[in-house]
Amino acid sequence: MNMLGTLNLVSTPIGDYSDMSLRALRTLEESDIIYCEEFKEGARLLRFFEIKKDLEELNEHNEAEASDDIFNELLIGKNISIISDCGTPLFSDPGKLILNKCIEAGIKTEFLSGANSLLSSIVLSGFDISRFYYYGFLSPKAEIRKKEMKEFCLSDRVSVILDAPYRLKAVLNDIRDIFGERKVFVAFNITQVSEKKFRGSAAEILNEIGEENLKGEFVIVIDKHYEKTIKFSDNYDNNNSL
C-alpha cells in the first residue's frame, strides 16, 4: 500500500524575493507538483529560484476540480505544495477545500510561514495591537462599505481592512467620512521597491497622496476608538441610510 503524500502550504514573498525562507525553497524543490494561484506569477517565482517542477493552477475558477485532483495525487503518495501569488496561501485565497479534505482524511499537512502583509502592517502602524480585528475586504459598493465601517467605528480594538489595488483613494474617502480624525496607517506595496507608508488621518493621507494615481497592494490599519478623541467628519451626513 502506498504511503500518503503531504500537503504543504508554502508562504512566498510579498514583494522582496529575499524574504523566501530556506525551508520553503527546500520544500518546493522536493515537491512532486506545485499548485499556484496564477500560472504567470507562480512561473516567475520558480524561474527566479531556478526550481523546475510541474506547475498547476488552483484558483477561484477551478478550486473544486483542482482540489479533487490534488486529493487523488496525495492518496498515491505525491507531495504537493500550494503557493498563492504572494504571501500566505489560503489567506483570502483558494485552498480551504483541499485543506479540509486532508484534515478529514488524516493526510499530513505542513504550513511554512513567511512574509505577511497583515502582520507587517499592524506592527509598523505603531498602534496598540494587543487586540486587533481583521475585517479583510469590505464591500466594493460605497454605500454598503460605509455601513460596514460604521459598524466597527467605535470598536475598542485596531481594525484592519484590505481592498482592490485601484480603490485606495475611494476607501480613504469613506474612512475620512466615517472615522473623521482617527489615526490611520496605510502600508502600500510593503517590502517592494515602490513601498510607501502613510500616517495620519484619512484626510491628511489623501492630501499627501494628492493627484498621484497609486495602484498597488495595500493594507489599511485604523486605530481603535478612544472615548475622548472620537470625532465624526462634518462632511458625514448623519441623516443618510447608515
Matching residue, cell 479540509 = 100
Read off the CATH number of the domain in which 100 is found. 3.40.1010.10
In this prediction, residues 49-73 reach a mean pLDDT of 95
pLDDT tens track for 79-115: 999 999 999 999 878 899 999 999 999 999 999 999 8
Please identify, among 112, 139, 155, the residue that sits at the C-terminal boundary of a domain. 112
- Let me know if residue 105 belongs to a domain: yes
- Let me know if residue 232 belongs to a domain: no
CA-CA-CA-CA torsion sign (165, 167, 169, 175): negative
Does residue 241 carry a pLDDT above 90?
no
* Residue 155 confidence (pLDDT): 93
Report yes or no on whether pTM surpasses 0.85: no
Please identify, among 82, 112, 142, the residue that sits at the C-terminal boundary of a domain. 112
Does residue 242 carry a pLDDT above 50?
no
Read off the CATH number of the domain in which 148 is found. 3.30.950.10
Does residue 233 carry a pLDDT above 90?
no
In this prediction, residues 212-219 reach a mean pLDDT of 91
**Domain extent for 61:** 6-112
Does residue 77 carry a pLDDT above 60?
yes
In this prediction, residues 147-174 reach a mean pLDDT of 94
Matching residue, cell 475620512 = 176
- Let me know if residue 39 belongs to a domain: yes
| Mean pLDDT score of the chain | 91
pLDDT-derived band at 126, boundaries 50, 70, 90: very high
The grid coordinates listed for 237 are 451626513
Q: What is the distance in angstroms between the CA of the first residue and the CA of the last residue of the chain?
A: 61
| Residue with the larger pLDDT of the pair 139 and 232 | 139
In this prediction, residues 215-237 reach a mean pLDDT of 74
Helix, coil or strand: residue 134: strand
| Residue with the larger pLDDT of the pair 30 and 115 | 30
Give the count of beta carbons closer than 10 Å to the beta carbon of residue 51. Answer: 14
Question: Are both 127 and 106 inside the same structural domain?
Answer: no
* Residue 178 confidence (pLDDT): 96
Number of domains in the chain: 2
Does residue 238 carry a pLDDT above 90?
no
